[in-house]
Amino acid sequence: CPACGQPVEHFEGEVAWYCVNAACPAQLVRNVEHFVSRGAMDIVGMGTKIVEKLIEAGKVKDVADIFTLSRADILESVTKKDRKTEKEPPGKIADNLLSAINTSKSQSLSRLITALGIHGVGEVSAGDLASHFGNLDSLSKAGVDDLQQIEGIGPNIAEAIVDWFGRKANQKVLEKLKKAGVNPTFNVQRSTLNDSLAGLAFVVTGTLPTLSREGAKEFIESNGGKVTDSVSKKTSYLVLGENPGSKLEKARSLGVKVIGEEELKKLAGA
C-alpha cells in the first residue's frame, strides 16, 4: 500500500487492490469522508481537508470518534500551524461543525447503513436493508441467506455485508456509535405517510425551481415513490429542472414521461 507500506490484498473478480491494514491512514480518510458525505450522514462543513486535519491531529481514529469531538479538539486540529494567533481562533468552523455533527446523530437508519461503506451497498440497497431489518442489531445478525431474500441483493453483496459485520474493528465502531447515541431504527411512519407515488420510479435531472436535489428526493420518498440515478425503461417519470444533462435525451428516446416540479407535486397530491 503506497500510503502505509502494509501488504495489499485483492479480491476475486475485483480490479482494485485493497489495503488490509485497518489502521491505514489513507483508508481512514476515505472512510470518514464517505461517512460524512451528502448521501450518508450528511455532516455539513466536513469535507476532505477538515477530515484530514482531524485525523492528522489524532482526534479521529475511527468513524465513531466524530461524535465525541469537543470544541477544543476541533480548534486544535484546524489551527495546527499558527499557534500564536491563539486569541482569534476560527470559532465559526468549530461551532458549525459541532451543530452539524449533533443534527446528524438523528439521521435515518438507511443513511447510517450507507455511511458504513459496505462493498456494494449504496443509498438504494441501504434503504432496502433498513426497511427490511429495522435496526442495526438485526442486520448485523443476518446471514447470507436472509440477505439474499431482498431484491437487489445477490450472493456477493450478501457476503460483503456478513463479512463487514463479522470484523471485530467494525463491531467496536458500532458499539461506540451506540454509546454516542447513534442508533436509529427504521421509521415506518415515514414510509406510510402518503403512498400516492407508490410503485413509481423517478429520476431527477437539472436544478429544480424550489426543491434541492436532496429535498426532491425526500419529497418523493416520503410519498412512497422511488428515486434512482439513471434513466431506464422502468423509470416512470423524469423530473426536469434547469440545465439538464444527458438524462433528458435518454428519457425521450425511451419514451419516459418528463414532468416539472409543479407536476410532481400535483402527482403527489400535495
Partner DNA sequence: CTTGAGGGTCGAATATCCTT
Partner DNA sequence: AAGGATATTCGACCCTCAAG
Site string for DNA, 49-78 (x = CB under 7 A): xx----------------------------
The C-alpha cell of 35 is what?
461517512
Return all residues near 13 (Cβ < 8 A) that are at least 6 apart: none
Q: Could you tell me the smallest distance in angstroms from the CB atom of residue 231 to DNA? A: 8
Q: Could you tell me the smallest distance in angstroms from the CB atom of residue 144 to DNA? A: 10
Q: Tell which positions 169-198 bind DNA, by CB under 7 A.
A: none
Q: Which of 3, 9, 10, 14 binds DNA (CB under 7 A)?
A: 14
Return all residues near 108 (Cβ < 8 A) that are at least 6 apart: 130, 184, 186, 187
What is the Cα–Cα distance from 113 to 183, expressed in whole angstroms? 11
Q: Which of 2, 5, 199, 245 binds DNA (CB under 7 A)?
A: 245
The answer for 250, left when phi > 0, alpha when psi is -120 to 50, beta otherwise, is alpha
34 contacts DNA (rule: CB under 7 A): yes
HEC assignment per residue over 65-113: HHHHCCHHHHHHHHCCCCCCCCCCCCHHHHHHHHHHHHHHCCCCHHHHH
Q: Which stretch binds DNA (CB under 7 A): 20-28, 56-64, 174-182, 207-215?
A: 207-215
Instruction: Catalog residues that contact DNA under the rule CB under 7 A.
Output: 13-15, 30, 34, 38, 44-50, 90, 92-93, 96, 117, 119-125, 151-158, 201, 204-208, 212-214, 226, 228-230, 232-234, 241, 243-247
